Amino acid sequence: DTADKLGLAGAPIEGPTHFSLLDPLGVCLWGQRWFEDGCISSHFLNMVFEGEEVRAALTPSTASGATIGAEKADGTPVLTGTATVGNDDGTDLDERRKRGHGDPGELHIIDRLSVGMDTQRDGGEVIVTMGFDEHNGPLYPFTLQQKLDSITEPSGWYTADGSSPWGAPIVPTEMLSVLAHKAGPHLPVRRPSVGLYVDLEVRYVQGPVFAGRPYRLDHQVVGIGQSRRVESFWTETTVTDVETGIHAATVLLHQGVFKASFPDYPE
C-alpha cells in the first residue's frame, strides 16, 4: 500500500540483499581476506521486486580492486560500484559523498540534521549484537536465522555448526547494514516519512564481524542533500568490538527520504 501511494511498481527488495550475490565472488578472488579487509561500495540504480532474478558480476581491475555490477534477467541494471581489499584504495562512493558537503537548499524532513552530528555526543552509547534468533530492530523484520534459511548464496561460514576459518560464525556482508542500524532511528528525521537506500558501502577494517558478539555503534552524519523526489543524508557508522576494542567495520549509508511520503510537503 505504501509503495502504491508513492507511485512505485511494488515494495522493493532491500538493497543490501544483493551484497550476498557478491560475497562468493569476493571470496573466489581474495579468499577469506574478503571478510577481513574487503569493501563493497555500491550505487543503486533500479529497484528490484520479489520474484525478479538478479545476476551479479565482479571484474578484477587491479590486484586489490574490481568493478561490480548487477542486473535483472532483462538486462536492467540494479547496481554499480567497486569491490576492494585493503584499506587504502579509493572506492566508488568517495566522489559521490563529497557532493553532500555543499548547500542542500531548503529542507523540510531532514532540516534538523547537520554534518558532524553524531550519536556519541547527542544520543549516548549504543551497543548491539546479532544473534541467530534475535529481533533486529524496528526497521528489519527478520532474524539472522530467517535470513540464513532463505539466503540465495549460503555458506558454512555463516552457521553455528559450520566451517568458519575464524572458529566462530560470521555475519554476511548484507547484514552489516542491518546491524549498524539495529537500534532504530537515531537521528531527528521528521516522520511519518518513507526512505530508500541510494548508496551503501560496507568496509571491513579488522573483520570479520561475528554473530552473537557485542559491538558498539558510533554514527555520524557526513553529508546532506536533496533531489527532485527525495531529501537525503549520509551516515557513517563505526562498528567496534566491545570485548577487544577492535574497529571491525565501517558502514556508509546514503538514504533518500521521499518528499511525497511526508504529509503536507510544501509544493
Q: Residue range 30-49: average pLDDT?
A: 95
Q: Residue range 45-56: average pLDDT?
A: 92
β-bridge mates for residue 233, sequence order: 224, 255
Grid coordinates belonging to 159: 552457521
How would residue 183 be classed by pLDDT, with cut points 50, 70 and 90?
confident
Which tens digits make up the pLDDT trace of 115-157? 888 865 555 688 999 999 999 987 788 999 999 999 989 999 9
Quick check: 68 and 57 in contact, CB under 8 A? yes
Closest CA to 137 of 128, 147, 145, 146: 128
Which tens digits make up the pLDDT trace of 160-182? 988 999 999 999 999 999 999 99
SS3 string of 90-157?
CCCHHHHHHHHHCCCCCCCCCCCCCCCCEHHHHCCCEEECCCCCCCCCCCCCCCHHHHHHHCCCCCHH
Strand spans (E) along 160-214 = 195-204
State in Å, rounded, how far the first CA of the chain is from the last one.
23
User: Mean pLDDT of all residues in the chain?
Assistant: 90
Q: Is 163 exposed, middle or buried (0-12, 13-18, 19+ CB in 10 A)?
A: exposed
Query: Quick one: CA dihedral 115, 116, 117, 118, positive or negative?
Result: positive
Q: Residue range 236-258: average pLDDT?
A: 95
Amino acid at 204: Y
- Sheet hosting strand 126-128, strand order edge to edge: 54-60, 65-72, 77-85, 38-44, 195-204, 247-258, 230-241, 215-226, 126-128
Quick check: 171 and 211 in contact, CB under 8 A? yes
What's the CA gap between 91 and 66, in Å, rounded? 10
Q: Can you give the pLDDT at residue 2?
A: 76
Look at residue 100 and tell me whether its pLDDT is greater than 70. Answer: no
- Residue 133 neighbours by CB under 8 Å, 6+ apart: 143, 144, 145
- Residue 26 neighbours by CB under 8 Å, 6+ apart: 34, 38, 40, 58, 83, 85
Quick check: 251 and 173 in contact, CB under 8 A? no
What's the CA gap between 15 and 135, in Å, rounded? 20
Half-sphere exposure (Cβ direction) of 23: Cα atoms closer than 13 Å: 26
Q: Can you give the pLDDT at residue 122?
A: 52
Q: Can you give the pLDDT at residue 103?
A: 81
